[in-house]
């Protein structure tokens, strides 16, 4: 892990790293990409179509923008992929539940889930009783992952394939102070007046910790190697709409960094498809720029492990209130 003084140079080197165009075949596979109407999600979806996915679900809050993304993919790629647009609003637990129930009812298989959708804002707004970034970037993401696990496990067993779930993380997790980590209830502590300048990085740190815990529990449930590989992926600094709220309030340093070093959305999407194709060696790991790498010191520390368990227990309680019985999906073995 790079020291604080060495970080800027290490960051520049990572940003300038050449990321290969993905070549892994998805022929016959069914893929879901959230936040697929633009940016990295759209470009990742385009790669999956180019690589032969049989069925590609663009999960979008705006179906109008989703239909435009579908038309763009079909116009730019010669493919037999069946591209579909399904509504999904991660600010609404009901929307997530409806999406997952539809997937379980209509899809005969699910091989890949790319949880790409996220928001970044300095304005504290609430959604479903939690700060909106916590709801969107963490709670709804894992509500979706756990609701779709049975279908992914059945797919792996029926077709003897390895499923893949990638939750998009961020380098920002390295810089959050995570002042809420010692609160009696961490999720309840994300309230108005809190450390909003840290909140996005904190949600991405939580994503990484929950992915680690989920991977370990899936392996334990399988008495060995889980048929579903889960990892978190940092696409690096990219030119995308993620920073639109920050740009509007004059974040000049970030603007300049994106201008000089930012990857294009297509280049950033390669890091996500590389994580999806990462295989067993990426299970439970943090994938940076398409390669398994070290996360922050906190993630691998003893304190980090304690907080990871606490976050998992709290999150599972929340998810059980939303969707009773959902936590059993982690331990479920398909018949």
Question: What's the pLDDT tens digit per position in 128-160?
Answer: 999 999 999 999 999 999 999 999 999 999 999
Active site residue 291: no
Residue spans of alpha helices (H) in the chain: 7-15, 39-50, 63-76, 93-106, 132-134, 140-159, 196-221, 244-247, 252-261, 265-276, 297-300, 302-322, 328-331
Catalytic site residue from 154, 204, 239, 285: 204
Q: Rounded to two decimals, what is the model's pTM?
A: 0.92
289 confidence band (pLDDT: 50, 70, 90): confident
Q: pLDDT tens digits for 217-245? A: 999 999 889 999 999 999 977 666 655 55
- Name, in order, each residue with C-beta under 8 angstroms of 74's C-beta and a sequence gap of 6 or more: 49, 83
Instruction: Give the CATH number of domain 25-237+263-329.
Output: 3.40.50.720
Tell me the C-alpha distance between 135 and 139, whole Å.
5
Catalytic site residue from 26, 70, 130, 200: 200
- Would you state the pLDDT for residue 1? 44
Neighbours of 191 (CB within 10 A): 12
Total residues found in the chain within this entry: 335
Active site residue 200: yes
- Name, in order, each residue with C-beta under 8 angstroms of 208's C-beta and a sequence gap of 6 or more: 169, 173, 232, 286, 295, 299
Domain ranges, ordered by start, for the chain: 25-237+263-329
């Amino acid at each position: 892990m790079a020291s604080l003084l060495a970080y800027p140079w290490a960051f520049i080197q990572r940003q300038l790293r050449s990321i290969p165009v993905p070549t892994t075949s998805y022929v016959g596979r069914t893929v879901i990409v959230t936040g697929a109407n633009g940016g990295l999600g759209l470009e990742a979806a385009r790669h999956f179509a180019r690589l032969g996915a049989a069925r590609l679900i663009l999960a979008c809050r705006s179906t109008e923008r989703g239909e435009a993304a579908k038309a763009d993919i079909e116009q730019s790629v010669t493919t037999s992929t069946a591209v579909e647009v399904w509504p999904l609003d991660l600010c609404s637990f009901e929307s997530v539940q409806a999406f997952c129930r539809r997937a379980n009812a209509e899809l005969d298989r699910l091989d890949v889930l790319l949880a790409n959708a996220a928001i970044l804002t300095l304005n504290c707004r609430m959604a479903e009783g939690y700060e909106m970034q916590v709801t969107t970037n963490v709670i709804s993401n894992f509500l979706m992952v756990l609701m779709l696990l049975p279908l992914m496990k059945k797919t792996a067993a029926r077709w003897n394939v390895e499923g893949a779930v990638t939750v998009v993380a961020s380098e920002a997790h390295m810089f959050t102070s995570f002042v809420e980590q010692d609160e009696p209830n961490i999720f309840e502590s994300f309230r108005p007046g809190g450390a909003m300048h840290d909140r996005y990085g904190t949600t991405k740190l939580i994503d990484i910790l929950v992915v680690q815990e989920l991977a370990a529990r899936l392996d334990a449930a399988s008495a060995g190697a889980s048929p579903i590989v889960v990892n978190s992926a940092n696409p690096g600094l990219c030119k995308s709409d993620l920073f639109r709220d920050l740009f509007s309030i004059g974040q000049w340093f970030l603007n300049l960094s994106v201008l000089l070093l930012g990857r294009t959305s297509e280049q950033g999407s390669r890091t996500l498809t590389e994580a999806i194709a990462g295989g067993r060696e990426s299970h439970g790991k943090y994938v940076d720029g398409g390669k398994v790498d070290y996360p922050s010191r906190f993630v691998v520390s003893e304190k980090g492990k304690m907080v990871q368990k606490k976050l998992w227990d709290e999150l599972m309680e929340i998810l059980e209130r939303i969707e009773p019985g959902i936590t059993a999906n982690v331990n479920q073995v398909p018949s």
